[in-house]
Every structure is written in C-alpha cells, then in structure tokens.
Structure 1
C-alpha cells in the first residue's frame, strides 16, 4: 500500500501500490482540488474532490430509493465530525442517477445524521461550511472485474452483490475506508 496526501495536506488515504493518483479538474462549485485513483489498467477506482459546500444532513434522492448493499461506520477520530449528531460511513448502494438516466452503483464515504436514512451522493464535511467527496461510481454498463461475464453483463443488484466478494471491491473499500484527516 502507498499513502497519498492531498496537495493542501488536509487528507490522506492508502491505495494499492500498483494504482496511481492523478490530478483531475477541481469541482466547479468551490475552491478545491480533485484527484482520481487509477488501477494498473487505467480504470478509475475512485475520485476525491474537495471544496464543495458543507453536506451535513443533505442527500440527493433519486426517483427510486437506493438499494443499500454494504455499510460500515468509520472511527470518529478518523475524519472530522463537525456536527455532534453525525457519523462518517462507507456506503455501497445501487442507485439511479437522474442526471444521466443510468442505474449503477456507488461506493462512497458519507457524513450522515445519526439514525438517518441513507440517501446517496452526500459526501462528508471538512468543517461547518466545506465538504468533500470520495467515491467510486460504477456505471451500469461497466464490466466488473472478478465477476462471471454473464452476470456482469446482466448488471443490477445481483451483479453488485456478487462484486462485493471480489478482490477489486475489497481493495476499493479498504482504500475508501482509509481516508483520514492528517495529523498536521
């Protein structure tokens, strides 16, 4: 594993040594930065973007409810918890993206109001005004590594559930869950 630290020195995460981190255009909504993590074949495994407006208790709900497949809360001291009634957590959900009219899946780190429903694409808070996003969007047409090609071609919840058992899924989940605020 290798450690990547953001250019501003605020966040860091671990990624497999054969994956690379590259700069991508920053979000248009704020002063921030963005990087994508690419696997050895050049496929995007996740993107980290900072500089968004704060995200506490916000959720973009799709016309159909997301199907949650995996959820794990993070230790409270790993990322800032700006609001006392919140948790940071990893989510893996099947979602409908109304912007692209595509059903796919998203693996992401999110700040959630404690006890809230798990909508999708929230991101996490860095302070009371600023948020960030660390996620992997899986397009409905993407061939998932480690799955039976026929199951991958059919897609949907069954394919995403099977994807959980693959080494690639575990590597992405481990990377996303390693996100932390730097000590400095």
Structure 2
C-alpha cells in the first residue's frame, strides 16, 4: 500500500528524488586519525543566513543552488585536502515524500545524537546531529550517514532522510555518507561504520556539523 506524506510548512521530509541527486559520494574514508588538533576556520554562507566552523585544511566549494523555494537558497560542498567530498550543504529545499510499505521492516540504528539548539527553525522544530545506519529490506544496499536533522527519524523503510527545517516554507540538508570500499559485504560495511566513530575525521565532521547555526 502506497503512502503519501507531504512536508512543507509544518515539517520537512526528504524526497527520494532529491536524496539521490544531493548525496555526498565520498571515496572510502581514512580510518586512522587525520589530525589531533586541527586549526579551525569559520564559513558564512553566501546569503549570510548560516555559518559553521571547519578544519582549515578542508575547502569549501560553492555550487549552483539546488533550491526549489522561491525565496532561494545556497549549495556548497566540503572537501578534504585530497579533494574528497566529506559533506554537502543545501538550503531552500521544499520536499515531498512518497514511498511504499516494504514486505519486511528495515533495520535502523542510531550511533550518536547531539542536540543543536543554536540552529533555530522558524517552523519550531528541534535540530540535532545524528550518525545512523539503515539496512533496508529486499536486498537493497545498506547506508550510513552523518547529518543535521529535525526531530526523530520517521518511516525508516523509506530510507534515511537527512533534512532539517529552517525557514517557514523550506529547509536544508547538511550531511555526508560513510562509504566503504567496493565489494564490501553488508557485515563488513557495518563494521566499518562502527569503527569510523573512533576516527579523528569523524570527530571533526561531528564538530563541523554541530557548529551549524543561524548567522543573523
């Protein structure tokens, strides 16, 4: 049975259409420490709406905005010193969700959740950083993301929707995906997901994402 969920002014869910197009497609992450005490820089988005901190060795690349809100938005990606995409930020995103109930439930796990009170939404939602994974039913590929989200995960059978609410009409996405080497089994993938939490790179990513806040 198909379900249709619309989230515009009262809450934001991700569209499967957008999920594919704006996911970070990073190469397999380094699982050893990248730095013990990186220097940090502050970045403010081009529309002066948001700012966040990032290790100074990571670059910010501004991209053509994917916003579908008439009010506009911005898009950018964060890359390491080797050019690997670590995370992507998009704002001005209005989304709809439509998916079908699977025959079997998906396996959803949250490894870490951090409140983000400095990121305020005009829709009144509570924002948080989350690192989580999903093992879909039906033989679909497993997925793990680190992301800024609003509220609790809903409908995990429809995938990981890494979006947060922001303005009265739209929201955004600040997220990246853990990527294992090609040919890894699902068991090996989830072992890597768990180990990644112990790396300096993950800690830096968590600090960067949780620093996202309103600039005005």
The separation in 2 between residues aligned to 1:176 and 1:60, in whole angstroms, is: 28
The separation in 1 between residues aligned to 2:196 and 2:51, in whole angstroms, is: 26
* 1:123 corresponding residue in structure 2: 163
The match for 1:104 among 138, 143, 157 is: 143
Q: 1:152–1:159: 8 Å Cα contact kept in structure 2? A: no
Shift of 1:14: 0.3
Higher mean displacement: 124-133 or 151-160: 151-160
Equivalent residues in 2 for 1:53-72, closer than 5 Å: 53=94, 64-72=106-114
The match for 2:203 among 170, 175, 179 is: 170
Under a length normalisation based on structure 2, what TM-score does the superposition of the two structures give? 0.66
The separation in 2 between residues aligned to 1:158 and 1:69, in whole angstroms, is: 12
Shift of 1:65: 3.5
Shift of 1:25: 3.4
The reply on whether 1:92 has 2:131 as its aligned counterpart is yes
Shift of 1:170: 0.2
Larger radius of gyration: 2
Q: 1:91 to 1:67 in 2, by over 3 A?
A: same
Shift of 1:53: 1.2
The match for 2:173 among 129, 133, 146 is: 133
Q: 1:23–1:35: 8 Å Cα contact kept in structure 2? A: yes
Q: 1:168 to 1:135 in 2, by over 3 A?
A: same
Q: 1:47 to 1:20 in 2, by over 3 A?
A: same
The match for 2:51 among 6, 12, 16 is: 12
Shift of 1:156: 2.4
Give the count of matched residue pairs.
165
Under a length normalisation based on structure 1, what TM-score does the superposition of the two structures give? 0.76
The reply on whether 1:50 has 2:91 as its aligned counterpart is yes
Root-mean-square deviation over aligned CA pairs: 3.0
The separation in 2 between residues aligned to 1:5 and 1:65, in whole angstroms, is: 37
Q: 2:162–2:175: 8 Å Cα contact kept in structure 1? A: no
